Structure 1
Amino acid sequence: MSDAPPERNVQTEARLWLAQRISAMVLALAVVVHLGTIIYAVQGGLSAAEIVARAAGNLGWTIFYSVFVIAIAVHAPIGLRAVLSEMTRLSARRVDLLCFVAAAFLLVMGYRVVRDFHFLGGAS
């Protein structure tokens, strides 16, 4: 009997590969915008409290960070899935379940942060 993991559906693997590459592109752009905005604001003399006061409640930033969270929730669990599949003896089903839970956790926690940040600005 072989120690190799059972074969996975090739079409599913291809879709996950593509999803991770697309989410990586979104994340790369989002990180540049996020860090660039923070650096620009701080160099302009704004404090963290002033940045929050200006950005909270802004629908554009809420949408931006919502997309950021979705990209994270797609990208990270797929990478985790690859690591767990290669480095552990967990079954494919168990790895997929753990990664689904990780994705759900990231989505819920990320959504809560974005929602709470949006409503800091008094938006309704």
Structure 2
Amino acid sequence: MKRVTLKEANKSLRIIVKETGYELHNGAGFAEYDAFGSRGKVNGFPEFFPDRIAIDGSVNLISPVCEGKELVIKLSLDTTPCLEQIEAIKKAIEEAAGRNYRKVLRSLNKGLI
């Protein structure tokens, strides 16, 4: 499966209401959630799906009234932990690249002297 960025994965988000809970689909795959909003099975990249979701208001998952109608769900995602990890990785790469660059320069300078 191709790696995608958080921005690419969240260009589209589809929420499906099922009898047993919810399914979130995006560019990184899909995740199943129980009726209480706890994440279960993930098909794709788990880091792109929240551990829990909260649905404002009550929805009767087995109600035939929901069938065939549009259901609007407000979803809030806290991507702060992912973004912090990405920044830490970027910083580590930049530091390693800087160290390697200085080593190469020293090696070249020694060869010229």
TM over 0.5: no
Q: What is the TM-score of this pair, normalised by structure 2?
A: 0.28
Higher Rg = 2
Greater share of residues in strand: 2
Greater share of residues in helix: 1
Q: What is the TM-score of this pair, normalised by structure 1?
A: 0.26
